[in-house]
Amino acid sequence: MNEPPAEGLLTQWGFIPSPPPKARGRNTQSASTDANSSKPAMDPLTAIVTMVTPLITTLLTRQINAISDVPSVSSTPDRALKRSLDTLDPTLPSGSLSSDPPPASRRALSSPPPDVEHELEACMVSFGRSRALADGIINTAIENLAVLGYTPEVLADTDISNSRIGEVSKLPEGTVSALRKFARQWCGRVDAKRARVANPDA
């Protein structure tokens, strides 16, 4: 077996052994330093924008929330709006644009009073509607009362007993009491209508 020549002989012959190879890995600290030094410095304008952007977002959010809390114009009551419109034309009567129904007294005067021969029917029909009574009950009462000459004024007369009116009209006692009270009020409204017709300028 051939053995390699001695190191002294290699030196004499002019052969210089090559140095051992360096380790592949580099020092961690130096590598980190080189990496950091290779990063470009951040632009000052970019740094300012990065810091200010969250602040601007917060301010905008607060502003939007504040605007959403303000009541809209649609929440203004219609009555207040109509009142303001009334002031635009002073020739219009007060409340002419209001949607509120007229008072009961004005509604009572809006229709003409019934003819005398139709007073009993008009009074009884109105009473039946106010009490939600069946048409058959009211029609029977009208026929029976008309045969004996009853009128709303007679029904309102306190000299006639409830039992007599109930006997004639075939209405129960409680309904008769309500009918007589209604007849008194009905006669008062009709009298006011006739007075208004007789004196329209009053």
Q: Quote the tokens at residue 8.
A: 């002294």
Q: Beta strands of 97-196 (E only): which ranges?
A: none
Indicate the length of the chain as a whole number: 202
- Residue with the larger pLDDT of the pair 130 and 45: 130
Lowest mean pLDDT among 41-55, 82-96, 149-163: 82-96
pLDDT value of position 97: 43
Q: Quote the tokens at residue 34.
A: 């080189």
pLDDT value of position 71: 53
C-alpha 15, offset from chain centre: 104
- Residue with the larger pLDDT of the pair 117 and 18: 117
Question: Average model confidence (pLDDT) for the chain?
Answer: 73
pLDDT of 42 over the 70 cut: no
DSSP class of 73: G
pLDDT of 110 over the 50 cut: yes
Question: Helix, strand, or coil here: 172?
Answer: coil
- The CA-atom distances, in angstroms, between 59 and each of 46, 54, 55, 62, 63 are 20, 9, 6, 5, 6
User: Is the Cα torsion angle 159, 169, 150, 114 positive or negative in sign?
Assistant: positive
116-163 per-position pLDDT tens digit: 889 999 999 999 999 999 999 999 999 999 999 999 999 999 889 999
